[in-house]
Amino acid sequence: MLELERVSKTYRVGTFGGKALRAVDEVSFSVDRGEVVALIGESGSGKTTIGKMVLRLIPVTSGRILYNGDDVATFKGAALKDYHRRVQGVFQDPFSSYNPIFKADRVFRIVHQEFFPTLGAKEWKEKLDRSLSAVGLAPREVLNKYAHQLSGGQLQRLLIARALLLEIEFLVADEVISMLDASTRVDVLNLLAGLREERALSTLFITHDLSLGYYISDQAVILYRGTVVERGGIEDLYARPIHPYTQMLMASVPRLDRKWEEAPLGLKSQQVGLGTGCVYYERCPFPYRDERCRTVKPLLAERERGHFVACHPRPEAPSPDGRPALPDR
């Protein structure tokens, strides 16, 4: 359904734009119909930038984003409007998505005017009530209220209901539950899972929380400094993480059976890696890095069936099938 082909995004920074900052570097992955793909990485890894490019909020510098085989960058006019009817986003802070001087249901009036101008008031009310009920909201309790009169969970559900009004096929969910309390998080996650089952809704689930990615996703893409370092099926990737960065993320997940001070931190230098080598070089622990890592950028390659890793294999540690592989870490 949606495919990214070597997508990159470069910003001009510094005085008079004299320097280039590559926020996303040749990222490739796909999301099939009805599939949830988790895009996982720490802050500053380029996750939100990818989401914005998918939504056509910012342009792609190089590469292509294909939707049902068509290049999204070529959409204009009616074609772009139809794309936004099918592909929508919900973002981290629900409060910033509403103008505080207007009532929250103004977003639905805009949808009515822009996408369903010929639909009568009665038919529109029925359609709106169905969408609100689908996300567990009672229309009389949330409509005609200002954003400050509603909770974060209610506002987030309103945004999802807005997307459902358009009968979308693809949702970009960018840290949609990070600002919600624990009980509301579960409700929103279960809502997204239910929409996938009922409507075959495809979702790009952007998060920094590995446990959330595992809970809801079929595939995972691990991003570090704008580069995909590992991707694959959620069960395989979580059970057998290969890249040192993925392993560090897994080791950093809090556990109930040990105190936090007993858990290994696993963090190294925060320096920016050299442009010609591996982006994770400066933080990669010894002895898993060498001169080759510093000077040669590893390519994303299939190490197991459907499991791709951007890390140099070590010939001295062959895998059971005889191919070069990383040592156990």
| DSSP symbols for 66-131 | EETTEEGGG--THHHHHHHHHEEEE-S-GGGGS-TTSBTTHHHHHHHHHH-TTS-HHHHHHHHHHH
Cis peptide before 287 (omega within 30 of 0): yes
Calpha distance 113→253 (Å, rounded): 46
Helices 78-86, 106-115: crossing angle, 10 deg rounding: 130
Highest-pLDDT range among 132-141, 252-261, 308-317:
132-141
Q: 10: which residues sit within 8 A by CB, 6+ positions away?
A: 20, 21, 22, 23, 61
If you average pLDDT over each of 17-21, 36-40, 136-140, 205-209, which comes out highest?
36-40
pLDDT tens figures, 231-253:
999 998 888 888 888 888 887 76
Q: What is the average per-residue pLDDT within 200-221?
A: 86
Q: What is the DSSP string of 153-215?
A: HHHHHHHHHHHHHTT-SEEEEESTTTTS-HHHHHHHHHHHHHHHHHH--EEEEEES-HHHHHH
pLDDT in tens, 139-153: 888 888 888 888 877
3-state secondary structure of 3: strand
Q: Is the pLDDT of residue 314 over 70?
A: no
How buried is 198 (Cβ within 10 angstroms: 0-12 exposed, 13-18 middle, 19+ buried)? exposed
* 3 state SS of 221: strand
Q: Which amino acid is at 5?
A: E
Q: If DSSP codes are grouped into helix, strand and coil, which group holds residue 244?
A: helix
Question: For residue 158, is pLDDT > 90?
Answer: no
Give yes or no for residue 327 having a pLDDT over 50.
no
- Which residue segments constitute the domains of the chain, with CATH numbers given? 2-239 (3.40.50.300), 241-329 (no CATH)
Distance CA 310, CA 190 (A): 33
Q: What residues contact residue 13 under an 8 Å CB cut-off, 6+ apart?
A: 19, 20, 21
Amino acid 99: pLDDT: 84
Q: Is the pLDDT of residue 57 over 60?
A: yes
Task: Please report which confidence band the pLDDT of residue 319 belongs to, taking 50, 70 and 90 as the band edges.
Answer: very low
Give the integer Cα–Cα distance in Å for 1 and 32: 5
Report field, pTM of the whole predicted structure over 0.85 = no
